[in-house]
Amino acid sequence: MNNTIKVGMADANVCKPPDVIATLGLGSCVGIILYDPVKKIAGLVHIMLPDSTKILNNANKYKFADTGIDSLIKDMVNVGASVRNIVAKIAGGAQMFSFNNNLEMMRIGDRNVEATKDKLQKLGIPILAEDTGANYGRTIEFHPDTGLLHIKSVGKELKIM
């Protein structure tokens, strides 16, 4: 019996085989999978914004790339993952509407991806796979038994990475 653990916007969870962990309909948000391949423990955080230090109301740690990654690592360590094993796979950060002006809010997808990469690099966590940007939504599902990330989009073939 395997369950799919669903993670909503500004939320996170951890998962062990045979369960899988998923987030549905990622748009400009970024889904960050952290994975300890030795212990087979996976975590998924669905972040909405790049930087918690630029926002006053930052109580929900999982809303931001910087604090979301930190909190997810803690959650994973709590269930037995080792920080030095952790690798990452990331997806999302699309620009859903083709706004014709270059306002800062319109580039939010790109900024989320940049902030995610910066944070992972600072922590020395390698990014093994990435499917980011473009203009379409993604449903992602991670299988901790195989370490593979399944990505579904409307009108596109299933990507496995």
Partner 1 sequence: MSDIDLNGINNMQFDVLREIGNIGAGNATTALSQMINARVSMNVPKVELLEFKELSDVVGGAEKIVVGILFTLGGDIDGMMMFMMDKVASMHLVNILLGNLQQAEPSESTEFSEMGLSALNEIGNIISGAYLSSLSSLTNLTITSSIPYMAIDMAGAILSVPAIEFGKIGDKALLIETEFGDMDNYVNGYFILIPTLNSYSAILKSLGL
SS (H, E, C) 8-43: CCCEEEEECCCCEEEEEEECCCEEEEEEECCCCEEE
Considering the complex, state which of residue 72 and residue 94 has its C-beta at the smaller distance from partner 1.
94
SS3 label, residue 73: helix
**Residue 144 in the binding site for partner 1 (CB under 8 A):** no
Per CB under 8 A, which of residues 85..124 are in contact with partner 1? 94, 96-100, 105, 108
Give CA–CA dist 17/31, Å, rounded: 19
Stretch that binds partner 1, among 2-10, 76-84, 114-122, 142-150 (CB under 8 A): 2-10
Question: Distance (Å, rounded) from C-alpha 11 to C-alpha 45?
Answer: 6
**What's the min distance (Å) between Cβ of 7 and partner 1?**
8
The single residue among 3, 82, 121, 135 that binds partner 1, judged by CB under 8 A, is 135
Contact 79, 17 (CB under 8 A): no
* Residue 106 three-state SS: helix
Q: Is 29 a catalytic residue?
A: yes
Q: Applying CB under 8 A, does 10 fall inside the site for partner 1? A: yes
- One-letter amino acid identity for 23? T
Q: Which of 12, 15, 29, 151 is catalytic?
A: 29
The size of the interface with partner 1 (CB under 8 A), counted in residues, is 33
29/81 with CB nearer partner 1: 29
CA–chain centroid gap for 161, Å, is 14
Which residues sit at the interface with partner 1, rule CB under 8 A? 8-11, 24-29, 48-49, 55-57, 59-60, 63, 94, 96-100, 105, 108, 135-139, 154-155
